[in-house]
Structure 1
């Protein structure tokens, strides 16, 4: 269907009660698609993510990346008037997202059952570490805890080394993506049924569901997956190698791909060597095969190695740093980094959701808000409060 110049989620309003990463990432993804996201922050302190390094001119760049395109409203949720305002805002919204510990939203009077009384068609998403039920529901959860308990750490790292965490907040990001996916599905369903839904999104569930290679072994053979470093746990050669100036990876996912690899490294006879004739044999003789490829790689630069492999049609590439990615012409063409704005810093770099919607309008410049930057405007436009009422609430410390 042709897009008529509207953003994908134009007209959708979201009340964002989340903090730190999983929830803010979810709502940032939706803001990228044109949803109006109203972020509730505590007066003065703001959201916890504002205090996470790194900083630029005392502003958290971590926070800015995760809260792009949102409106910041400073409400004191420890004050009855502040909670009342949050409920009134929720009544104007299509979606509410929260990632408090289970039970906290209910104690505040901002849980699904309460808000649904004011807004029966509400889509409400609760994000937590372990879900809203189960024996672990009340455990505090951060990304490292979930990586450890989901099974991800157990399969990450060198085969003889310690279990290692992935070098980014993978559990938070994965959960945020699943939450945004669930919200979009619930909104679609609401268009058909007229009914909202309650979503229970857990970090542990999210990460566990993505460990498909390991689960294909554990669920069907009873054998736990094992750490294998950079190689694939079932297929060889799928691994990283060292050139004279850095590392690169290659993927020999089939007999044909393996033949292309040994041709590229000048050892075509290895394709017919009985030690390497199929994947089972290559796994059994991994050491000899790895030595042959490593010897070839050690005499070449990374660019030379990748060029030879690419010429032979082998999936391969350099191990890039983030700086390498940002500086690459490909990143520029694909728009991996976009321009945003901030009232203090001016122009700032931001990173949007990565899906290109053909026919959608060009993305607008997004703003990373200061604490409470939009309080007055939102309370006036959505709740009809006049200047006197806003001043009174501010004097009572209900808003900032």
Structure 2
């Protein structure tokens, strides 16, 4: 990619390395013996850079994040700024209509470890309403099964392929003088990727809410759900907040005439969780034949069947540290029996890149998180 010209050369195609014969579930069982916080299935499934030089490898993808945001040892290469949370998910049984996964069994309560975050590779970035908000969750299920998911607060993803995402990272790099992307580079990128332009326009029609607590978080990618009878359907999932939207939920970061505090989104989340649990409904949207499962930029029609599968309750928040969400890789392909990947190419790419990021930060010295829960609550 030629940065001096301002035009992106065609990126190499992304091919994840072949998964070893050992199944992902078996790998998960092996990894679980080291504890939930250290489990990293992706690191097993995608160990090594097994690509030719001209391929877009997970290592090159992570290098691109570091090129744009700088290198911050010990932190994630994207969504670096975050805080750990925990709670539980209570199923109402309705999700069992489409999936045999035990997480959906009526009345089952599943422990959950999670992480709220903001997009970008800088762990000390100032909170801003337009930054993409993330929520990663790990559902700890019986018999060493896990369900991991990494969601964001936009209704569709800007990119349909790993190659497009790779190009967009560079096109979106802020200029030092303005703090915004180079308009010419971004225009060139969007001209080459009309699907991204359409997705961004769609997302702009769904502006962010006031904070983490009143945000809807979307899984974006499609998955295949199989029920006890063997019927398989495409599904996308979302978490919709039970907290009302508005400044009372997340705060505005300062009083009248004041600039927002640097950590205002996180500070409000921490204060709210100290006062009361926060809850979301888990909504499963069931696709029909012909609905795109391979393209996360395209929304499904609004009349698709939805199932309310249960309630996520988050009731504790902690500064990121050893033993909590800091050391979890929210690999989207760690899935329980009854949920499987679709044909979306972003899923295998995300899994491989997450593993590469995990391996790098796992071997680096850890730095204190800029989001310190104790400072907010004292």
Bigger proportion of residues as helix:
1
Larger RCO: 1 or 2 (CA < 8 Å, sep 6+):
2
Larger Rg belongs to: 1
Q: Which TM-score band applies after superposition, normalised by the shorter structure?
A: under 0.3
The TM-score normalised by the length of structure 1 is 0.21
The TM-score normalised by the length of structure 2 is 0.22
Bigger proportion of residues as strand:
2
